[in-house]
């Protein structure tokens, strides 16, 4: 039956092979869907992670729907194993061709870049929500729910400072789905996770009594001012090492290699483990999951930690802290007295990044102790 979510079209479904020829209408495995919904969320990695909350919201609003999510290949891992997503498609020319021939009841596009907005306009649907591409080449809201976010993003300094809605509240508004405090979610294979933890503990001689404190010291290249100071990390690590049970993990991309090496060398301790650029995104999630607490700026590591329900201390300055819901997992550190917050400045900061440099290592240390 074409309306069953097990229907393949080119071959019998898996239950045919298990049970033999069966009558779909009387089979216990017959699972028909009503609405066919396409969700477009390609970039960035952190935004894909925090958008996973929407999948649950869609299934609450449309419990019999078939949800397809198209994303970048490097983000696909974050969606795998999510019970609310029926089909995951990697963004490539083949997937685009396949989707062009399909018809959806609802298409939701959360991205405003040309590749996503042009896809939304090219695919067939009865209803469009989110963003499309104007004939003059710029993004435009396709429904009433997207207008607030669209207007807000045209005025980074003003509207983003005034806005009090979290990212999840914003994407639910765009999608015209009622928000009920749904949380982002990443599925990690239990056996794989257990094996990673066992090997990591063995390799670095970690005991179960140890407290593992993960410091994600960098950030992406788009907003370089989101990273906390190297001097702050050096002071923090040396203070943390005064507790003999603390083990420090340094993480980051290749651009943080020199910074993390300097932090590590300042300690002369075998309880500091530098994992810079060692792991794939999948293993990076395993690493975060084995940690007792994660210290990070507004980066993909923050969103992974939230999705894995870890304790968190996070720093904010150039990006709006009010858009990040920690769901009771941690503490945000932000210098609210500064007028230049939420600047989204991608260029050399005229204030020498003081929104981050004014965050004291003592405040970070105090927050860690409160949570542990």
Q: What is the mean pLDDT of residues 102-112?
A: 97
**231 and 326 belong to one structural domain:** yes
Query: Is 3 inside any structural domain?
Result: no
3-state secondary structure of 15: helix
List helix spans (H) across the chain. Answer: 14-19, 45-61, 93-100, 114-122, 147-153, 156-162, 167-175, 190-203, 230-240, 257-265, 281-290, 300-307, 354-357, 361-371
Q: What is the pLDDT of residues 246-265, one digit of tens each?
A: 999 999 988 899 999 999 99
Q: Which of 140, 175, 210 is at the close of a domain?
A: 175
Sequence-distant (≥ 6) Cβ neighbours of residue 190 within 8 angstroms:
none
**55 and 79 belong to one structural domain:** yes
Q: What is the mean pLDDT of residues 328-338?
A: 92
**18 and 138 belong to one structural domain:** yes
Mean pLDDT of the chain: 91
Query: Which CATH number covers residue 60?
Result: 3.40.50.720
Per-residue pLDDT at 312: 98
pLDDT of 127 higher than 60 = yes
pLDDT of 14 higher than 80 = no
**78 and 152 belong to one structural domain:** yes
What share of the chain has pLDDT > 90, as a percent?
Answer: 76
**Domain membership of residue 145 as a residue range:** 14-175
pLDDT of 161 higher than 80 = no
pLDDT of 1 higher than 70 = no
Q: What is the pLDDT of residues 192-204, one digit of tens each?
A: 999 999 999 999 9
pLDDT of 331 higher than 70 = yes
Q: What is the 3-state secondary structure (H, E, C) of 82-136?
A: CCCCCEEEECCHHHHHHHHCCEEEEEEECCCCHHHHHHHHHCEEEEEEEEEECCC
- How many domains does one find in the chain? 2
pLDDT of 222 higher than 90 = no
Q: What whole-number distance in Å separates Cα of residue 179 and Cα of residue 182?
A: 7
Helical (H) or strand (E) element with 295: strand 293-296
Query: Is 248 inside any structural domain?
Result: yes
Of the two residues 299 and 31, the one the predictor is more confident about is 299
Q: What whole-number distance in Å separates Cα of residue 180 and Cα of residue 89?
A: 27
Query: Is 212 inside any structural domain?
Result: yes
Per-residue pLDDT at 347: 66
- The position carrying tokens 């994660």 is 294
pLDDT of 63 higher than 70 = yes
Q: Using only the alpha carbons of the chain, give its radius of gyration.
A: 23
């Amino acid at each position: 039956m074409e309306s069953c979510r097990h229907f393949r079209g080119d071959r019998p479904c898996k239950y045919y092979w298990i049970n033999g020829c069966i009558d779909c209408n009387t089979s216990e495995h017959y699972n028909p869907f009503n609405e066919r919904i396409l969700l477009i969320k390609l970039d960035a990695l952190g935004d894909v992670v925090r958008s996973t909350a929407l999948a649950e919201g869609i299934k609450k609003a449309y419990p019999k729907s078939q949800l397809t999510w198209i994303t970048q290949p490097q983000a696909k891992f974050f969606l795998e194993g999510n019970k609310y997503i029926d089909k995951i498609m990697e963004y490539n020319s083949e997937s685009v061709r396949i989707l062009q021939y399909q018809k959806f009841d609802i298409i939701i596009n959360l991205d405003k870049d040309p590749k996503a907005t042009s896809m939304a306009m090219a695919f067939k649907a009865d209803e469009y929500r989110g963003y499309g591409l104007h004939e003059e080449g710029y993004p435009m809201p396709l429904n009433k729910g997207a207008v607030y976010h669209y207007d807000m993003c045209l005025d980074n300094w003003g509207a983003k400072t005034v806005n009090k809605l979290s990212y999840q509240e914003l994407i639910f508004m765009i999608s015209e789905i009622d928000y009920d405090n749904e949380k982002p979610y990443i599925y990690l294979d239990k056996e794989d996770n257990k094996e990673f933890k066992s090997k990591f503990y063995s390799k670095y001689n970690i005991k179960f009594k140890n407290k593992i404190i993960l410091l994600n010291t960098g950030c992406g290249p788009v907003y370089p001012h989101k990273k906390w100071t190297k001097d702050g990390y050096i002071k923090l690590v040396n203070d943390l090492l005064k507790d003999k049970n603390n083990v420090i993990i340094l993480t980051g991309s290749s651009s943080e290699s020199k910074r993390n090496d300097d932090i590590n060398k300042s300690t002369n301790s075998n309880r500091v483990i530098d994992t810079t650029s060692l792991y794939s995104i999948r293993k990076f999630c395993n690493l975060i999951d084995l940690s007792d607490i994660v210290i990070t700026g507004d980066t993909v590591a923050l969103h992974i930690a939230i999705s894995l329900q870890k304790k968190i201390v996070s720093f904010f300055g150039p990006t709006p802290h009010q858009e990040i819901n920690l769901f009771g997992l941690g503490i945000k550190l932000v210098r609210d007295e500064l007028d230049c917050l939420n600047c989204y400045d991608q260029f050399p900061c005229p204030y020498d990044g003081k929104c981050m440099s004014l965050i004291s290592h003592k405040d970070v240390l105090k927050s860690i102790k409160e949570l542990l």
